[in-house]
């Protein structure tokens, strides 16, 4: 057999290294390095070279994540070291008692003990075994002693290294951690499942566990799963790490994602404060946690403490309140959204879910009502997590009262009486009334005046409803013809407020093309897409005239969004509204640039804290339009940090690393300069 060409070997090896590094940067560090297009180009090139030279394919090649054929079942995997559960703590007293138990055994004071605290991820626990740096087995926890071998499925997660990174590779490593699904990924997965009539998951934990137990790894590969490491169960040879936190730092250098929230604290008081603070942050993390894991940090102390029955003596799980509670569904109302979508909303007997009173929950659509098999009067489980709207996730039919009533989906709009249409293959039913429907008009106006759109100060929800109910405002353009006298005649509206509103409307007339596009409320065109459309086309006319292909060439615009945009600009009533808005005096600075220069090419920016004049999404889209990468965390590679109001740990890190930090005012000035250059 002829020897492979050294140049070919070199190219393959370089492509693999580049792709591994890009994966690590993207899925572990949240700091994208390659653009999606560059990544795909390299992956395609590697796939081609491997297809032409099959003998050069290796199991740890980045092309081999989704290689395996569907399985018949999962083999049993005996855990060399049992995967134990943790004891729970529910109160400050429980934490103090844990620290005292530890102190007694270690013969020291509770306040002298170093604890490592980290969020308790609520996903599916798994174990990964690496031999000579290569992933050989991935398994579920199972009953703690024996799990299911799901190696082919775990290989599809891009945060699971197929081979370890760095120069110092252990002979054997068994890493344990949690596979989680973030709220955004979970919502999108369920949304798609509702549309397709496939399985809807009750929560991200079930979605993660269910996705890992697919017989076909190609299905797992489509699920937005992430692996977070939290323990090294076996490490040979011992690499001299003295603490849990040092081990976590080592796992990070070997290519794993570890908790960015891990904090070392001394004594139970500091630990309790951490639990409280994390509890307050819980809703903003973007993924489910059900508590805090508190570990004795010193590994010698851990060994000394050992285990009791099924749990280590050196750790405890402080549990937060549950995110699911049970209550009664009293009634169902049908709400009409901006695009006419009819959403059934459950009116509930108020219940506190993870510290917040919930009295409404979404039932999504008619299919979901059918899937849940829910009736008015039923006892239902409600889930509330993060910023996601509370949902009805289950019905306890055994508790159904004899007078429970069926939920009948209306066939005419509850607001305007127009027919409700449901297109073939769509889960959503819509009112066909368009802007004739007062509900849709109100929602369109609320959107138009909202902060990310034209940002009309003083034009609140209640006022918009009055203006529509009085028939004073039919289209957004009508807003600009309201007079102080007219507004003053409204209840609770004095001359000053009326004047302020008219002035605010006048101010709002000078805007940006991106805000104007967003304000139009085109389906699927959010703020970031609007920014991309604006910077791509530069002028409204160019956007209006763009055909489907031209629209699809805009970053982040796919066929569906392109079709919505294209259709929007061809509807006679939209053309009229646009005309009327321009006649009312709305202006912005148009630029002729299409795909302008990218002065920030090669730079990495981070945005933190609250910005006053724009959202972080808008700032991010504008930076990206100028060629910058926008990362989620600060590192040595960060070019500049934009620090808004109440910037926290990222600001501290940037200062420590000597990364340039600018405030919002400077940011705006620089953006404007670059955008005009
Ligand atoms: C979770 N679920 O986040 C542990 N865990 O450590 C963390 N679980 C654990 N650590 C030893 N962060 C046993 C379990």
Task: Summarize pLDDT for 102-120 with one digit per residue, the tens.
Answer: 999 999 999 999 999 999 9
Taking the CA of residue 121 as reference, the ligand 1 atom at the shortest distance is: 3
Per-residue pLDDT at 591:
66
In DSSP terms, 115 is beta-bridged to 265, 296
In DSSP terms, 346 is beta-bridged to 332, 361
Per-residue pLDDT at 243:
94
pLDDT at 661 exceeding the cut of 50 = yes
What does the alpha-carbon distance between residue 149 and residue 45 come to, in Å, rounded to a whole number? 32
For residue 181 and ligand 1, the question of a CB distance below 6 A is answered with no
Omega within 30 of 0 (cis) for the link into 105:
no
pLDDT at 590 exceeding the cut of 80 = no
| Bridge-based pairing state of the strands 76-78 and 430-431 | unpaired
CA of 15 to the centre of ligand 1 (A): 35
> Considering only CA atoms, which of 524, 517, 595 is closest in space to residue 562?
524
Q: What is the mean pLDDT of the chain?
A: 91
Tokens describing residue 380: 């239902």
Total-model pTM: 0.74
Mean pLDDT for 172-179 is: 98
Candidate ranges 86-90, 598-602, 633-637; pick with highest mean pLDDT: 86-90
Span 229-243, pLDDT tens digits: 999 999 999 988 999
For residue 292 and ligand 1, the question of a CB distance below 6 A is answered with no
Per-residue pLDDT at 595:
54
Mean pLDDT for 467-493 is: 93
Higher-confidence position of 238 and 68: 238
Q: Which of 115, 117, 121, 257 to mutate to test the pocket of ligand 1 (most atoms within 8 A of CB)?
A: 121
> Considering only CA atoms, which of 255, 264, 249 is closest in space to residue 227?
255
Per-residue pLDDT at 626:
83
DSSP symbol at 244: H
Span 316-326, pLDDT tens digits: 999 998 899 99
Task: Identify whether 120 is a catalytic site residue.
Answer: yes
Helix (H) / strand (E) element for 485: namely helix 484-488
Mean pLDDT for 282-292 is: 93
CB-based contacts of 122: which residues, under 8 Å, 6+ apart? 178, 180, 204, 205, 287, 288, 289, 290
In DSSP terms, 630 is beta-bridged to 605
Q: Which of 120, 127, 140, 319 to mutate to test the pocket of ligand 1 (most atoms within 8 A of CB)?
A: 120
Cα 241 to Cα 28, 238, 300, distances in angstroms: 22, 8, 10
Q: Which of 42, 120, 295, 629 is catalytic?
A: 120
What does the alpha-carbon distance between residue 561 and residue 423 come to, in Å, rounded to a whole number? 18
The model's confidence at residue 594, banded by pLDDT at 50, 70 and 90, is very low
Mean pLDDT for 550-577 is: 89
What does the alpha-carbon distance between residue 279 and residue 119 come to, in Å, rounded to a whole number? 9
Buried b (16+ CB within 10 A) or exposed e, 241-269: bebbbebbebbbebbbbbbebbbebebbe
The model's confidence at residue 148, banded by pLDDT at 50, 70 and 90, is very high
pLDDT at 520 exceeding the cut of 60 = yes
Taking the CA of residue 122 as reference, the ligand 1 atom at the shortest distance is: 2
Handedness of CA 39, 41, 42, 48 (dihedral sign): positive
- For the chain, percent of residues with pLDDT exceeding 70: 98
Omega within 30 of 0 (cis) for the link into 237:
yes
CB-based contacts of 261: which residues, under 8 Å, 6+ apart? 118, 119, 278
Per-residue pLDDT at 80:
95
Span 336-368, pLDDT tens digits: 999 899 999 999 999 999 888 999 999 999 999
Residue 550 burial class via C-beta count within 10 angstroms: exposed 0-12, middle 13-18, buried 19 and up: middle
The model's confidence at residue 667, banded by pLDDT at 50, 70 and 90, is very high
């Amino acid at each position: 057999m002829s020897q492979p060409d050294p140049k070919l070997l070199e190219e393959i090896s370089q492509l693999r290294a580049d792709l591994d590094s890009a994966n690590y940067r993207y899925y572990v560090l949240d700091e994208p390095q390659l653009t999606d297009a560059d990544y795909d180009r390299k992956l395609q090139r590697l796939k081609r070279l491997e297809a032409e030279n099959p003998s050069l394919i290796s199991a740890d090649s980045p092309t081999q994540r989704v290689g395996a054929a569907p399985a018949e079942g999962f083999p049993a995997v005996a855990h060399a070291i049992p995967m134990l559960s943790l004891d729970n703590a529910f109160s400050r007293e429980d934490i103090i008692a844990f620290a005292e138990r530890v102190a007694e055994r270690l013969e020291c004071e509770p306040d002298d003990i170093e604890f490592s605290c980290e969020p308790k991820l609520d996903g599916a626990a798994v174990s990964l075994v690496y031999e000579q740096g290569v992933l050989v087995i991935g398994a579920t926890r199972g009953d703690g002693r024996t799990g299911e071998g799901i190696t082919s499925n775990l290989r599809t997660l891009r945060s699971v290294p197929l081979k370890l990174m760095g120069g110092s590779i252990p002979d054997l490593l068994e890493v344990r951690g949690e596979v989680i699904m973030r709220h955004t990924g979970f919502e999108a997965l369920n949304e798609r499942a509702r549309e397709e009539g496939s399985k809807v998951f009750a929560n991200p934990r079930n979605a993660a566990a269910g996705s890992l137990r697919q017989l076909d790894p190609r299905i797992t590969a489509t699920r937005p799963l992430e692996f977070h490491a939290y323990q090294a169960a076996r490490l040979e040879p011992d690499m001299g790490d003295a603490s849990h936190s040092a081990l976590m730092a080592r796992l990070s250098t070997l290519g794993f994602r570890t908790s960015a929230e891990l904090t070392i604290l001394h004594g139970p008081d500091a630990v309790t404060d951490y639990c409280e603070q994390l509890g307050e942050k819980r809703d903003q993390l973007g993924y489910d946690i059900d508590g805090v894991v508190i570990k004795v940090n010193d590994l010698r102390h851990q060994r000394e403490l050992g285990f009791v029955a099924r749990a280590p003596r050196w750790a405890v799980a402080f549990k937060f309140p549950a995110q699911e509670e049970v209550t009664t569904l009293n009634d169902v109302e049908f709400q009409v959204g901006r695009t006419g979508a009819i959403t059934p909303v459950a009116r509930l007997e108020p219940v506190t879910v993870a510290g917040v009173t919930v009295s409404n929950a979404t039932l999504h659509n008619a299919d979901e009502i059918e899937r849940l098999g829910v009736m008015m009067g039923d006892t239902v489980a409600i889930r509330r997590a993060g910023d996601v709207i509370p949902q009805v996730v289950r019905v306890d039919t055994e508790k159904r009262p004899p007078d429970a009533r069926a939920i009948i989906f209306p066939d005419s709009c509850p607001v305007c009486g127009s027919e409700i249409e449901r297109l073939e293959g769509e889960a959503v039913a819509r009112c066909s009334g368009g802007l004739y429907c007062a509900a849709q008009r109100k929602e369109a106006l609320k959107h138009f005046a909202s902060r990310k759109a034209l940002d009309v100060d003083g034009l609140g929800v209640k006022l918009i409803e009055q203006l529509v109910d009085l028939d004073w405002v039919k289209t957004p353009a009508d807003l600009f013809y309201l007079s102080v006298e007219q507004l003053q005649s409204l209840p609770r509206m004095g001359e000053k407020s009326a004047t302020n509103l008219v002035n605010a409307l006048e101010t709002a007339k000078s805007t940006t093309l991106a805000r104007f596009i967003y304000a139009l409320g085109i389906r699927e065109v959010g703020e970031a897409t609007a920014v991309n459309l604006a910077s791509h086309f530069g002028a409204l006319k160019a956007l209006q005239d763009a055909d489907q292909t031209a629209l699809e060439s805009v970053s982040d615009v796919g066929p569906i969004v392109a079709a919505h945009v294209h259709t929007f600009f061809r509807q006679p009533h939209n053309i009229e509204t646009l005309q009327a808005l321009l006649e009312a005096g709305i202006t912005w600075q148009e630029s002729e640039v299409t795909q302008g220069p990218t002065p920030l090419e090669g730079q990495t920016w981070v945005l933190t804290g609250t910005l006053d004049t724009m959202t972080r999404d808008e700032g991010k889209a504008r930076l990206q339009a100028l060629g910058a990468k926008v990362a989620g965390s600060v590192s040595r590679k960060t070019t500049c940090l934009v620090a808004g109001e109440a910037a926290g740990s990222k600001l501290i890190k940037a200062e420590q690393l000597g990364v340039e930090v600018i405030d919002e005012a400077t940011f705006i000035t620089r953006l404007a300069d670059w955008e005009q250059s």
